[in-house]
Amino acid sequence: MRDHKHISMFGPVTCACTDQEAANLDLVTRYRAAKVSDRGPFLADDFVRHRAGFPHIGELFGMEGAAGLNDESIAGRQNILIELTAKGDKVWGIFRIVGSHTGTVYGIPPTGKPIDAIEAALWRVEGDVIKEAWYFGDELGLLRQLDVAPPIGG
């Protein structure tokens, strides 16, 4: 165990973690900083996304899965890490997605409105790539920011 810096909303934090855990933190930090279209090299060939960040919005508006977002969905997109920590092959994170709604987001046409959505995630790292991921976004908060009411009925 050695002391390594990790990201926290409370400022730089030094924690005791293994060199591999520090490498996993670095991998996920670089992955989150990349544009959506540039994230492929960070992922294992058999990568599995068990849960997209906003799946219920996708279900409501007819666009499920990771295809709900692309580089044009949120202009000026920034992924601002709030907290990131690692233990073994797992990395946990909380981050903000900030930008402007300029393209389709899970079936919602562009509104031009600002987006500042919170999302939490868990990544499992294998070797030097991300093998699995789970994302949990604040769906209600995003709908409210876009001033979009979910469709009613079946």
- Please give the chain's pLDDT, 154 residues, in tens: 556 555 655 556 666 788 899 899 999 999 998 988 899 999 999 999 998 888 888 888 776 555 677 888 899 989 888 888 899 999 999 999 999 999 988 888 899 999 999 999 999 999 999 999 999 999 999 999 999 876 666 5
Stated pTM of the model: 0.83
Q: Does domain 2-145 have CATH number 3.10.450.50?
A: yes
In sequence order, the β-bridge partners of residue 116 are 98
Residue for token pair 């995630």: 121
Distances (CA, A) of 6 to 22, 105, 120, 122: 8, 31, 16, 16
The CA distance from 58 to 26, in Å, is: 30
